[in-house]
Structure 1
Amino acid sequence: MNGRLQRIWVLLRLAVAAGVGWRFGWAWGLLTLGLHAAVLAAGFVQLRWVNRPAPAWGQLLRAWVHEVAASELAFSWRQPWREWAEPDHLPAGATQGVLLVHGFACNRGRWNGWMERLRELGVAFVAPSLEPAFGSIDDYAEEIEAGVRRLQALTGRMPVLCAHSMGGLALRAWWRRFGTGHAQAPRVITLGSPHQGTRMAALGLGANAAQMRRGSRWLAELPGLPDVDAFWTPCDQVVNPAETAIPAGARAHRLDGVGHMGLVHSNEAWDCLQTALAGSSLSTPRRI
């Protein structure tokens, strides 16, 4: 569903820009396409008052520039048009597996870069597109469990679980429902997940957005996960205040000058996954 909605959105943006360009000149049409970048800029500026200590202007500028590119790549190309460009990879004889869980208003195309690299390494992976797109986060537990079981059947072990944004809460909802059925706890990596809610969820639509609001009852009743590396950034324009991305007991990894979507493109997060696949554990929190 998200892919279809995003295809409509891309075509609508292009149609509006073409109409403005035809009527007022093509320079104005190009500026119309750039409105997305202007909205993003407002999201970064407000972090100067939301986060304490406030991120420096230079960090926010760097995060904004990269976020414009990352969000256009995700919402104008990979998710609307390339959702299944990288199918699930379950090679015979694989000994390692990764489950990739996307966030709010996204689909599995969010992970295309990681999936391509994992395929080259011979690592098995499953990346579901969570549906319904704007339903309860609890509804995603069965699909996550199915992916975990597929990888376990192939590799004989619990896969590493990687989640971006809302996906981290989906993993916690899955663990609440299915955790007792697994003898082994998962190694989890979350990237900008609103573990303690986010102010920006008040602007979202759907049951899942309501569940991510600060102080929501659903979030207060959600259990944690036992083994988590949580990546967060003071330049996160979606999950803020910044500390809400750090769950209790997690190994916290701070990235500066990176926006919400940019976390998936960070070398530090990819390196953490490689460490997890190698079977080692980062025993103490550290700042990156």
Structure 2
Amino acid sequence: MQQTIALSTVALVAGWGGFTWERSPFLALAGAAVLVFGYAIVLAVEFLAVARVNRGDPSPRASVAELVGAWWQEVRVAPQVFSWRQPFRWRSLPDDESAQAGGNTGPAVVFIHGFVCNRGLWLPWMRQLRAQGVPYTSVNLEPVFGSIDDYVPLIDNAVHRAQALTGHPPLLVCHSMGGLAARAWLAATPDAKGRVHRVVTIGSPHAGTWLAQFSRVTNGRQMRQNNGWLRGLQQRETQSTPQATHAHFTCWYSNTDNIVFPASTATLPGADNRLVRGAAHVAMAFHPEVMRGSLALRTSPANAPGEPAGS
């Protein structure tokens, strides 16, 4: 789907330019700019909604400078992710498959992406882990618009492969909807909590998101605020772990997240919740503080709260 969108955009720009250039070079360039950068207008509308909806949220209020800065982050990062890494580079840097023999000690990492994404989202993380000799596995969550519950077997397989690489329970790193998928796996798998070191979520709609009210696909509806699926998930979690239900979670959230808002919906009660001011939704996945702080959790005690941000 993303390949089709990217290639169709290139074809439209070329067709528009060929049709209008002789008549008006300015019109040709203006039309091409709209086709290539029109998504920036959509992003601007999202950030206007963020500013309005977050007024009633307990998280710190974003300044105009933070909102504009986050918009510019997303304008730059979104094409890298959705027009290059995911459609054309997702097969690069494949998962580790053989067990480590005297190599890097400690947990491997399992990457779980979000809505309408694939493993290509994580390429910057994968490059860094390869340089450090840290093994990893990943998933492609399919069906793309299916129920989040459908992803449980995929995550279970990735966790099994990751533990086989080092002999240690892995660290789960999840972006957006991936955090809900990880929680669904934990709630559906009796021994799951003992099979993970910690769970990191980045901009995950743990309490839903205002934007999901406009979705008509199954997993989109499951991310609506206060919907039945989320309530059921919370109930299953409480039943399986009545005390300190989310103590093994580290949740990164932002006051300028343009997809998951109000901002506090990306936090969990009792979790190690860490605010990143002025970070956009996709760009937050590559924020230096998020990457550094998340990977540092590999060496923290298993299933124990990590060090608070800035400590």
Q: What is the TM-score of this pair, normalised by structure 2?
A: 0.86
Paired with 1:194 and 1:239, the residues of 2 have a C-alpha distance of 6
Alpha-carbon distance in 2 for matches of 1:286, 1:154: 29
Post-superposition Cα deviations, 1:1-55, rounded to whole Å, max 9, x if no partner, equal xxxx000111222223333333342332123211011111111122221113531
Mapped to 1, the partners of 2:271 and 2:310 lie a distance apart of 13
Match of 1:15 in 2: 11
Match of residue 85, structure 2, among 78, 83, 86: 78
Which of the residues 123, 139, 142 maps onto 2:134? 123
Residue 230 of structure 1 pairs with residue 251 of structure 2: yes
Q: State the match for 1:66 in structure 2.
A: 73
Matched, 1:255 2:270: no
For residue 44 of structure 1, the aligned residue among 39, 47, 50 is 47
1:242 — aligned with what?
Answer: 263
Match among 159, 166, 174 for residue 170 of structure 2: 159
Give the greater-gyration-radius structure (CA): 2
Tell me by how many angstroms 1:182 deviates.
Answer: 5.5
Question: Structure 1 CA distance, aligned partners of 2:4 and 2:306?
Answer: 45
The number of residue pairs the alignment matches comes to 284
- Range 62-71 or range 106-115, more displaced: 62-71
The percentage of counterpart residues that share the same residue type is 37
**Structure 1 residues 241 and 83 mapped into 2: Cα distance closer, same or farther (>3 Å)?**
same
- Off by >6 Å, runs of 4+ in structure 1: none
Alpha carbons of structure 1 residues 33 and 183: separation in structure 2 relative to 1, 3 Å: closer
Counterpart residue type for residue 36 of structure 2: L
Match of 1:201 in 2: 212
Alpha-carbon contact 1:108-1:128 (below 8 Å) kept: yes
User: 1: distance between equivalents of 2:124 and 2:296?
Assistant: 18
What is the CA–CA distance in structure 1 between the aligned matches of 2:310 and 2:273, rounded to whole Å?
Answer: 7
Q: Quick one: distance in 1 between partners of 2:227 and 2:70? A: 29
| DSSP-derived class of the 2:189 partner | helix
- Structure 2 letter corresponding to 1:128: V
Residue in 1 that maps onto 2:242: none
Alpha-carbon displacement from aligned partner over 1:28-84 (angstroms, at most 9, x marks no partner): 212321101111111112222111353111001111111111111100000000011
CA distance in 2, matches of 1:90, 1:225: 30
Q: Pick from 147, 151, 170: which aligns with 1:140?
A: 151
- In structure 1, runs of 5+ residues without a counterpart are none
Aligned-pair distance for 1:268? 1.2
| Letter of the 1:144 counterpart | I
Preserved contact between residue 79 and residue 110 of structure 1 (Cα < 8 Å): yes
Q: Which amino acid aligns with 1:236?
A: D
Q: Within 1, Cα distance between the matches of 2:29 and 2:120?
A: 31
1:134-175 deviations in Å (ceiling 9; x for gaps):
100001010101011111122111100000000000000000
Match of 1:97 among 104, 108, 113: 108
Letter in 2 for 1:186: H
Check 1:54–1:132 CA distance in 2 against 1; reply closer, same or farther (3 A cut): same
CA contact (8 A) 1:134 1:205 kept: no
Indicate the larger mover: 10-19 or 34-43: 10-19
Query: Are 2:290 and 1:269 equivalent residues in the alignment?
Result: yes
